[in-house]
A and B are shown apart, each in its own frame.
Chain A
Amino acid sequence: MANLKPLKIGIVCPYGWDAPGGVQNHIRDLAEYLIAHGHSVSVLAPCADEESLPEYVVSAGKPIAIPYNGAVARVLFGPIAFSRVRQWIAQGDFDLLHLHEPAIPSLSLLACWAAEGPMVGTFHAAAKRQRAIFAIGPILEPVIEKLSVRIAVSEAARLTLTEHLETDAIVIPNGIYANKFRDGDILEKWSNETIGFIGRFEEPRKGLSVLLEAIPVIARFVPGVRVLVAGPGDIDEAMETVDPQLRSRVTFLGRLTEKEKADFFSSISVYVAPNTGGESFGIILAEAMASGSCVIASDIPAFESMLGNGEFGALFKSEDSQDLAKTIIDLMRDDSKRDSLARAGKAHAEIFDWENVAEQIFSVYEMAIVGSEKVRLASDTRSWSRLLNRESEK
């Protein structure tokens, strides 16, 4: 990475910068990593609050909330956004554009439409086959085709891409800063027969209820078992939904800081990810593994490949509390098995470290910029912009 001349890289974030989300975190970490290595980076993103943005983020306007893929996506498009994207590209003089999630209606798609030259696209989502995508496929095809290289963050995301858009991609996982998680402190209050869960517990697809249903069975075999739930959400309301007999065993911790998260992972006996679907990568599993937690996850495709089909963590049948209980009891009563899984996971988590991931992304950049000129406005939109500019001058 060091032997390359500094690049000017433009990154487009499809979702609102201020909303929490995996894609935004990924872009933030990547941008900061690239800047730390001497490249100049500009991130174009929709921002609800235009103040207090990091220096490298350029706001494209306020995002609008639209329902997409079973959740609410905060994205931005439309003529005004399009002209901002064009302006950003024309003024940026970029060597390379990195577009995230360019196949959904968002800034990334607009940028892909407007630009020409070295472009890399990263596909994050993994979704089931959708009719709507088939309908817009022919329109999307020539646009997506302009990307010089496509990256998928997981096998699941790659499969979605090949099914929906009939195009292949290189798999490069999302990155974590493994250092931050390597040396968490073991805290008394969180250790001893504890099961950890992190996530927006109010969302059914995160599967907290699957875990809670398993507790009565687990308690019969592991009398001291406790569940620690961390993550944003209304704690009182969530406690209401918990079976009164279980309440003494469940603690809601609210949102954890990065340091607390590392300590949390180091202290708990097992980490459980009972997500029922809609996951494409599962960065939290990578973090848990990097901290040396023993991970138990549902056998949805993303988690299955993340845990190497059970090599680096235990898998249970998704949405099956009985199977989950069995897996947890098995591991909680067998220290050596738990330790060996945790150790395997910790070693495996190295491949998700930013040092590795950024290196791979960067070599893709290198391949994309070879032989091409700088990023410029596409010839077929240049005439449009001339037309529109003249109109706006009037």
Chain B
Amino acid sequence: MNGNVLRVERLGKTFGENSVLSNVSFSLPEGSSLAIIGPSGCGKSTLLAIVAGLAAADSGSVALPSHWKTAFILQDYGLFPWKTVRDNLALPLQLRGVARKTRFAAVSSMLNELGLEGLERRFPVQLSGGQRQRVAIGRALISRPDLLLMDEPFAALDAITREHLQNLLLSVWQRRRMSFMLVTHNVAEAVFLGRFIMVLSGRPATRTLWLDNPCFGDASCRNSEESLSLMRNIREALEEPGIRESGEKVMP
């Protein structure tokens, strides 16, 4: 069981007097995906930040294979307004000292892959929300991460654009097979993009449900009976914090 697995064990975090994460454990095999869903402000983003190494946990541990590279897409994309699309995309490579020519080649293939051709000289302010999100995805992918972390990546987009980008992310995953974790508060998105789904309770966030998702990545599944029942299951877990793994109720 020592293979290429991200292992999170009994993670805990408090801010001042407020406990935001309590005893959260899970593991994610290489090339798999995890959707984390929970009420807003429950500490999902904190969990992601700890996995990314941007924040320190107070207790527990995060272990990921030493050769794994991670990339993080922030909630508001985190594009730099003073850099063009091309410079935003090239930045992770530039920071690693990759030669200019190689950088530009990587950027053009990324523009191509994400359907952003012709926009390379634009600034973020000249792009639509969906285009901006594509650039953010591209910037995260350009350094070929083994683990991609996304904090509500599609929350600010309209329903159609959101669905396009979910499909885009999935097709990118099918080609590259990186692992990814995404925090969302959209149940349908969790069912479409999470090979595994973890439901967290309100503060402090603890794991209330863990699902092995048979509908992952299956667009035809979007309106099937199976996915609807899954979504119902997740919604119930979100609404009733007393529910624990495998659906059994616990007395408060």
Tell me if chain B binds chain A: no
Name B residues whose Cβ lies closer than 8 Å to a Cβ of A: none
